[in-house]
Chain A
Amino acid sequence: MIESLDPRIKRAAISTDNNIEPLSPLDQWETYEVFHQKKRGDQHMHVGIVHAANPEMALVFAKEQFGRRGLSANIWVVNTRHVFASTYEDADIFETTSEKIYREAGGYKVMDKINQYKKSQKA
């Protein structure tokens, strides 16, 4: 007969001298990165991860974790192993020196010239 697993009805028979050992890596499911799209045409945004046994199951879980509330059009899941990432040791590649202002839009003061040109066209 089918027995209840509800702890209020039947307590699990756990031995008292249990030596808990940490799980080996393969005893745990892999993680999948979840990308959520609010409406068609929008970019998919990274929203978090789920644990799952396969990609299909990752989609099943992602829908409930991240698509349960608000607008949703589409979800992507990507096995975390398949994400190729930069390292934090190399974070200095994002640093930039202040004298390269010519590479930014703010480095160009052209409004005066534009206004002058507009004026000359009106005249």
Chain B
Amino acid sequence: MNVAAIKELLYKVADDQLVIGHRNSEWTGLGPILEEDIAFSSMAQDKLGHAQGCYQILHDLGEAEPDQIAFSRKANQFHNCHFVELPNGEYDFSLMRHFLFDHADQIRFEMFANSSFEPLAKLAKKVKGEIKYHVFHGNTWINKLSTANEVSHIRMQTALNESWNYALGIFEAGSFETELKNEGIFEGENALQNRWLEVVCPLLEKAGLKVPEQHTWEPVLGGRRGYHLAHLEALVTEMSEVFQIDPTATW
């Protein structure tokens, strides 16, 4: 079992979950209506749970405690993609990110469910239902807002245009793509991206949105290797503020 490859994979997946979970939780109390506020906050919490699940596996492989990993690193030690660290913007952008990210998340965890690395397969089966709901929620909103009226349609199209290249950055290749595939741990970012395109493009078109022309696609890369936007540093500082008051405290 290639431990270095598994660790790299788990770190990026966990960091994506943690950062988007934190971002989405910033909507708590500010959501458009009470019901949506509760649903979006609840899903943000699910994401933190999924992050914790991955950090726990990392801990079992010899890395630090989950809380230590989550709250004691500097921004440049995070491996999340840029997409999840972008500020929330308005609700159209947050929803579009949630939709695009969670479809990738769902396919990724479906792949993990067949992983030869058992702890990962087990975690994937555990979170399956939660991710299914996240996708159901995302699909419902994208459909509704993209077809409701001209203003909402334009907003959703703009959100899609702004998101697209960042979303493609989710699939930045790691250093162990071949090893992961050969050992049956994970099919790889390329396979994931292809399946994601097969799923999201028809859904977006059905909602009346135009997927940006392929010749304009420029994946925003670097996040997996620790290069980040200034936004992440502010997020990490705020997220770990309480933990840093007393890192040794038991909760």
What is the CA–CA distance of A4 and B88 in the complex, to the nearest angstrom? 6
A57 B89 Cβ-Cβ under 8 A: no
Contacting residues, chain A, for B93 (C-beta < 8 A)? 2
B88 A50 Cβ-Cβ under 8 A: no
Check: B133 CB closer than 8 A to any chain A CB: yes
What's the minimum C-beta distance from B56 to chain A, rounded to whole angstroms?
Answer: 23
B35 A5 Cβ-Cβ under 8 A: no
A68 B42 Cβ-Cβ under 8 A: yes
What is the CA–CA distance of A61 and B137 in the complex, to the nearest angstrom? 9
What is the CA–CA distance of A75 and B106 in the complex, to the nearest angstrom? 23
B90 A61 Cβ-Cβ under 8 A: no
A5 B42 Cβ-Cβ under 8 A: no
Residue ID in chain A nearest B87 by CB atoms: A4
A56 B87 Cβ-Cβ under 8 A: no
What is the CA–CA distance of A60 and B86 in the complex, to the nearest angstrom? 26
Report the number of A-B residue pairs with Cβ-Cβ less than 8 Å: 54
With A2-B86, A4-B89 given, is the CB distance from A60 to B33 under 8 Å?
no
Contacting residues, chain B, for A63 (C-beta < 8 A)? 39, 133
What is the CA–CA distance of A68 and B43 in the complex, to the nearest angstrom? 11
With A7-B30, A56-B140 given, is the CB distance from A64 to B42 under 8 Å?
yes
Return the contact of B90 from the options A5, A51, A57, A64 (Cβ within 8 A): A5
What is the CA–CA distance of A65 and B37 in the complex, to the nearest angstrom? 10
Contacting residues, chain B, for A50 (C-beta < 8 A)? 35
Chain A, 1-31, CB within 8 A of any chain B CB: 2-7, 29
Contacting residues, chain A, for B86 (C-beta < 8 A)? 2
What is the CA–CA distance of A122 and B42 in the complex, to the nearest angstrom? 65
Return the contact of B144 from the options A5, A57, A64 (Cβ within 8 A): A57
Return the contact of A60 from the options B26, B34, B90, B136 (Cβ within 8 A): B136
What is the CA–CA distance of A86 and B33 in the complex, to the nearest angstrom? 30
Contacting residues, chain A, for B35 (C-beta < 8 A)? 50-52, 61, 64-65
Return the contact of A5 from the options B30, B33, B36, B137 (Cβ within 8 A): B30
Binary CB contact string for chain B from 24 to 59 against chain A (1 if under 8 A, 0 otherwise): 001000100111101100100000000000000000
Interchain Cβ contacts under 8 Å between A and B, 30 examples: A2-B87, A2-B88, A2-B89, A2-B93, A2-B162, A3-B90, A4-B88, A5-B30, A5-B89, A5-B91, A6-B87, A7-B30, A29-B33, A51-B33, A51-B35, A52-B35, A53-B148, A54-B144, A56-B140, A57-B141, A57-B144, A60-B136, A60-B140, A61-B35, A61-B36, A61-B38, A61-B39, A63-B39, A64-B35, A65-B38
- If A2-B89, A4-B89, A53-B144 are given as contacts, then 16 extra A-B residue pairs at C-beta distance below 8 Å, sorted by A number, are A2-B88, A3-B89, A3-B90, A5-B91, A6-B87, A51-B34, A51-B35, A52-B35, A53-B148, A57-B141, A57-B144, A61-B39, A63-B39, A64-B35, A65-B35, A65-B38
